[in-house]
Structure 1
């Protein structure tokens, strides 16, 4: 009898393992390790056929070459984004790669709205004051979202849901995207504008684009200068969409009003881990933490029961397809 295929799960988190176990249905032999995939931990994949990685794992050319030497033939990502893996190298090495694109755009979109509401209505400050029996409203003034102009940069699956929710709030929604969806825009009374126009007109800016060579450091000093001083920026995309140093300077000098994000430019090896007893030496992160007009969460937007179920099921769907020599609908093809 043929032994079950062996799969190594990198960056395995305690909260996701039960979902992965259920989705596996005892078909494959799984090993879960908390370590991130790097060039130093690639050797842990020796003896396995397939690995699964997360958004913080390192899929650079050097790491992929090592994985090839250790016998890895397939990589499935437990994330929609795949900017952390060098696809051209994977193709050259003959390593198949698939991602998890549709696990729950609603989870991400709803978290974006939660960040906006919490930031605008000063919920974190209010709760801290309340715990100290301070019931003053002096520091808790926000604004109505109704009738405000919200600019959405990126109208993919997540961006569209964000737009729909904001239309429900009575916001005027404008958007920019390299692939405009005119039918969606017409149905929801959304106007596509240039990036520059969006920055000039928006009271709130939502970032919902993938990280690539075009969007890397998209939000920088030059673009911030076009924005209203009262603007709120909400980032649920990737940390490096924003040039953190430029952002901090803008916040310090009141060039923009506030920033909320579920991502951070240098979050690798920080987010998803408890560093309360070994505080990281990261001056940029510390400055963001110290700023009163910043609200950060640790890449938790995807953390819903529905999303984790879909991620686990899609992970094993991708593996099943590879094992059966079928093309997964999530396989990442390369130019």
Structure 2
């Protein structure tokens, strides 16, 4: 028994796959809600519009679409970068299938759309989290192997100091002790925060204002700070001091990059918003807070971007490369994640933290 057109349309409207129907002139005759969401165009506005007014692709893709009408051959394209009508870029998988219109029997193109941006982001996050876990395990093992002999070296230097016949020779044992202490402190910093987080309700804007105050002092007020806060964001459960440390590390990196590159009108922009139904790693959260920290500095060199959150990775000659590693570790403890997008004159670090207590 064949399904009625009404039932078929209802089924299409409940699909997660975007479905478009184009006539022989490539004019949109139907789009389901999933296609509306992917193309950011309501059905009422999209119907009767030429397909290339909704999306922008290369000429070869235009030719392929028109050729499908003529030849009747189907094709599929994976991870295509599409520019939407509102100048937003999205990544899609799409399949084009020439079919006969069920009523008019005229040539029609059936286009199935699958959004890839979210899946690609989840995949990147899973890889990032896995890399960070591996790095932390390596650092913990390395720290154990380093700190044990360091303790022995320091103890031996102290014993030797007591037996030295001349006070002037103690200068050398002090150098041994001080360098051993310096290496111990470096290992402790590599390990990140060691104390158990003190979970409490934290107002994210109080944290950001404290960070702004510290950045203003450190930069001697040479950094212009712009705020774009959503005052409706509820409190989140976190360690306030550690959260200040994480956000300060990111803002301090931005401040140093702008000042060292002599950026014209160095500006740090802070923005907060809530995002619903957001996935972090394997977990989907009903509500998360998004904190964007943007600067207009020179950007992060491409050679560093892949390993930016690893310890000891830094673009500065005198940098330790620990700030972002520690920040990511703190945010991970709160089940959140840090992402970034960087190009000259615009670098944005986005922190996502779940609001699970709502």
TM-score (norm 1): 0.24
Instruction: Name the structure where helix makes up a greater proportion of residues.
Output: 2
Please identify which structure carries the higher strand content. 2
With the length of structure 2 as denominator, give the TM-score of the two structures: 0.23
Q: Per chain length, whose mean CA-contact separation is higher, i.e. which structure has more relative contact order (CA < 8 Å, sep 6+)?
A: 1
